[in-house]
Amino acid sequence: MPIIAPPVEKLPKPTLLIGDRRIDDSSGGAVDHVYGATGKTTGNVTLAGAREIDIAVQAARSALPAWRATTPDQRRELLFRAAQVFRENSEELVAISQIDNSMPVFAAAGGPANAADAFSYYGGWADKLVGDVIPTWPTPSLDYATLNPYGVVGIIIPWNGPIYAVGMTVAPALAAGNCVLLKPPELAPYAAIRIGELFLEAGFPPGVLNVVTAGPEGGQAMVAHPGIDKIHFTGSGTTAKRILDTAKDVLKPVGLELGGKSANIIFADADLNNAAMQAIMGMQGSGQGCINGTRVLVERPVYEEVLALVQGVLGTLEVGDPLVASTFFGPVINAAAAERIVRVIDTAKSEGARVVAGGERLGGELSDGYFIAPTVFADVDNSSPLARDEIFGPVVAVIPFDTEEEAVRIANDSPFGLAAYVQTSNLKRAHAVAQQLDVGLIWINGFLGIPTSVPFGGVKQSGWGRLGGFDGIREFTQPKNVFVNLM
């Protein structure tokens, strides 16, 4: 079946949304957006340059005094309204986000519900951001500390889950009383722009949320701008280093949510059918997820059995059109990504790696898009690039182990520390292993999602700080202490 043409008539105008103004004549130029499943252009996207970032900062700073002065219950109700907006427009937002990044239905469908949950959750925090009354001396005196917004925050998000990223970052930032410059990437601009439009319709004052699609130039302009008080960045470590380089010159605080190379440890006593499915989930979203379990560690007695189960299940999962509901694996984001991933696969093959599944770019009816067969390498050495680098494609590396200690050692032997997964029927062991893993997030015996209420983030080169839960709103506030002389 030929690939279905996406409903481009549903796309918002791909221009900047600053205050309530649209800007399409930008100093940052414009770039074509390409749909990953067909390789066809969907529109020409305006990119913010330094001039437009400055205009957006002025809009946000003008809106800030009134937004900061909104009462907590007003902010709460407006965030609840935003949650409702995600629910009411879920179908449209899913369709737009699928054009953004060509994720299949099953991966894209939950985005608006996740964002709705985040806006409800953080709306609930708006009236609960209590401070502390702190014992001090000499007495009599009174000391209290309150949590205050930074002011204007710049939020830079990646292309792989823009709606989800908006929920996890913009919701706590707004709930805390900040105004926001949201920078979606040029590779996936549409859903964020539509969210900006919907927020204006929902009653957010112009300037509180500004959507400034941009590439590196606009991103750097945000980091350097003195009118932005904090940057929150989600993306790759390479870009994070560039951001920190610029941020150091203006001593700007930066929150970082970065990549991973997460271990999925399968013990011999696990439910092996479930474990095999969890191994395949390492490639879900065609491997374009920060938390994917891309290193699959399998205890030696069940090693070949797990490989066979993975092969068997993979044979039943469809690779193809992201708009067809039964598709499990869609394309990767663009031509450059496909070429890079194929290079990684080919290099590993040329060095003698054992390919258990996939290992090639797909042709035929899929040849215009960027489809790569889900690829499983077995007997991978944990020191090889297959196990060390974030490939961000549908590739997992399977590694055998003999003891619990060895599994923990291999899992922790990585520059990253975002997530880990443990598959075992021995819950005592599961907790013991979880204690020893140097990561921010652990799922045991299956992936149940990422509730907004839990702290999300990594250690080592996977990031600084946390989104989600109370930590998520702390990320967008800073304490102010007041010491009162009562003598």
Q: Give the residues lining the site for ligand NAD (CB under 6 A).
A: 156-160, 183, 185, 215-216, 219-220, 223, 234-236, 239, 242-243, 257-260, 290, 390, 392, 418, 463
Residue type, 44: N
Residues in the chain: 487
Sheet strand arrangement including 263-266: 354-357, 375-378, 395-401, 295-299, 263-266, 419-423, 441-444
Dihedral pair phi/psi, residue 122, rounded to 5°: -80, -25
State the catalytic residue, choosing from 52, 186, 257, 390. 257
CA neighbours closer than 13 Å in the CB half-sphere of residue 199: 31
Q: How far apart are CA 246 and CA 222, in angstroms?
A: 10
* 318-319 vs 327-329, strand pairing mode: parallel
Q: Which is nearer to ligand NAD, 76 or 466 (CB)?
A: 466
Least separation in angstroms between residue 165's CB and ligand NAD is 7
Q: Which is nearer to ligand NAD, 151 or 260 (CB)?
A: 260
Residue with tokens 């701008």: 225
Residue type, 160: N
Q: Which is nearer to ligand NAD, 290 or 338 (CB)?
A: 290
Q: Which is nearer to ligand NAD, 231 or 362 (CB)?
A: 231
Least separation in angstroms between residue 157's CB and ligand NAD is 6
Q: Which is nearer to ligand NAD, 94 or 156 (CB)?
A: 156
Phi-psi region of 358 (alpha: psi -120 to 50; beta: other; left: phi over 0): left
Q: Is 250 exposed, middle or buried (0-12, 13-18, 19+ CB in 10 A)?
A: exposed
Residue number closest to ligand NAD, CB atom: 219
Q: Which is nearer to ligand NAD, 157 or 265 (CB)?
A: 157
Name the DSSP letter for residue 125.
H
Task: Note the helical H segments in 160-236.
Answer: 162-175, 190-202, 216-224
Least separation in angstroms between residue 231's CB and ligand NAD is 8
Least separation in angstroms between residue 434's CB and ligand NAD is 19
Query: Quick check: 459 and 417 in contact, CB under 8 A?
Result: yes
Candidates 237, 236, 217, 126; CA nearest to 171 is 126
* Span between the terminal Cα atoms of the chain, in Å: 82
DSSP for 244-272, written as a single string:
HHHHHHHT--EEEE-----EEEE-TTS-H
Candidates 110, 67, 73; CA nearest to 91 is 110
- What SS3 state is found at 487? coil
- Tell me the C-alpha to C-alpha distance, in Å, between residue 220 and each of 5, 151, 156, 412: 35, 19, 10, 33
Is 365 one of the catalytic residues? no
Least separation in angstroms between residue 389's CB and ligand NAD is 10
Q: How far apart are CA 365 and CA 382, in angstroms?
A: 36
- Tell me the C-alpha to C-alpha distance, in Å, between residue 109 and each of 11, 33, 103, 164: 17, 21, 9, 11
Query: Quick check: 116 and 89 in contact, CB under 8 A?
Result: no
Q: Which is nearer to ligand NAD, 320 or 463 (CB)?
A: 463
Least separation in angstroms between residue 203's CB and ligand NAD is 27
- Enumerate the active-site residues: 257
